[in-house]
Amino acid sequence: MSKGTVVLAYSGGLDTSCILVWLKEQGYNVIAYLANIGQDEDFEAARKKAESLGAKKVFIEDLRSQFVEDFIWPAVQANAVYEDRYLLGTAVARPCIAHRQVEIARREGAQFVSHGATGKGNDQIRFELTCYALYPEVKIIAPWRIPEFYNRFRGRTDLMEYAQKHGIPVPVTPRAPWSMDANLMHISYESGILENPKSHAPADLYLMTKNPEDSPNEPDVLEIEFKNGVPVRVTNVKESASKDTPLDIFSYLNEIGGKHGVGRIDIVENRFIGMKSRGIYETPGGTVLLKAHLDIETFTMDKEVRRIKQGLSIRFSELVYNGFWDSPECDFVRHCIAKSQENVEGKVQLSVFKGQVYILGRESPKSLYNEELVSMDVQGNYDPCDASGFIRINAVRLREHHRLQGFSGTEK
């Protein structure tokens, strides 16, 4: 007798293929769900594989446009960066995947959802918090946290033996000595030989970006047009080629950024679960957009509004990294950030060259830049004498501090 129906987030790889068969062994009807968020995958081969392994149904969902518009664009508006360096490529993808997984589970009357995330990482938290938020009564099967599963499969060799025993096709090419996760926004690399934080990444690790040393000797000059803080058009100035749909814009920026080796980082970060981990990331299009958006935002946004928005950006980045995309506080922060972007409009010209993005110029109908006011050659509507009082008022606190504490603190 069936224990019920489970929607498995399926990748087509060894782990989730073994999980699919194992769930069937436990008495579940399995629906396999594979999200296309821009990874290089043979989706039809994955469908046939899941069907051959006994999946009751297989859903392959093209979420690329939704991923860009509903998840990447809010991150761009926020200038979302976790711990000053990580552009959150995996963290923004997980709620996108989980949203559709929950939608399928509800539609198919499935009481369970399952995933192949490990018990030490962030992804288990991101998947499950999203599922519980959107489907409160759902039950989650996380095999890598179930002792009878992880004690049975202690490594890749155990998985391979199980696969051969149950007729699961096994990889014929040697596995890279690290794990990799790819989507439209980035590729991340961790584990294996990368777990030693002193070890340098092998030269052949990177798949999305060229080594800057081997990149073209001529830059690409781009003009990116923004409206409400998101790009609406990108134009290659030299080639007069332009893109104007969200998916095309982001894909093109990936292409240009990747060609010039933009967006590589090698970091140690703090996982939400309480441990440090080493991760290597390449985020070419996202890095180009971050530089461009920062520039047009500073050009068009009031100083004090931006100061508040910077704090919201840090909070947003932490919430997304930790898996709280669908929390009420993250919803609130997203709305505040979106409000701040109403006048973030205009064009930024930049050069992409040898691993770097160089801002060349900007223009905006909503600019707060007053050329006459700031000019050293024109006095404009500004009296320099006013600065004397401004400085004296700001000096009151400093003078009093040092008068009352500063000098006494330096006495021997």
Phi first, then psi: give them for residue 229, nearest 5 degrees: 80, 5
Q: Count CB neighbours of 120 within 10 A.
A: 13
- Strand order, beta sheet including 28-36: 57-62, 28-36, 4-9, 112-114, 139-141
Q: Which residue, among 223, 209, 302, 291, has the nearest Cα to 257 in the 3D structure?
A: 209
Q: Which residues are catalytic?
A: 15, 94, 123, 179
Contact, 56 vs 31, CB < 8 A?
A: yes
The residue type at 259: K
Contacts 24+ apart (CB under 8 A), 229-233: 229/76, 229/77, 229/293, 229/297, 229/338, 229/340, 229/341, 229/344, 230/73, 230/76, 230/77, 230/341, 231/76, 231/289, 231/292
Phi first, then psi: give them for residue 341, nearest 5 degrees: -95, 0
Residue 131 Cα distances to 2, 35, 55, 368, angstroms: 23, 15, 21, 43
Which residues have a Cβ under 8 Å from the Cβ of 135 and sit 6 or more positions away?
102, 105, 106, 113
Q: Which residue, among 96, 87, 161, 154, has the nearest Cα to 123 in the 3D structure?
A: 96
Residue at token pair 């990116």 = 224
Contact, 51 vs 44, CB < 8 A?
A: no
Which residues have a Cβ under 8 Å from the Cβ of 318 and sit 6 or more positions away?
82
Contact, 7 vs 111, CB < 8 A?
A: no
Using CA atoms, how far apart are residues 148 and 141, in angstroms rounded to an integer?
13
DSSP for 257-312, written as a single string: HHHTT--EEEEEEE-TTS-EEEEEEE-HHHHHHHHHHHHHHHHHS-HHHHHHHHHH
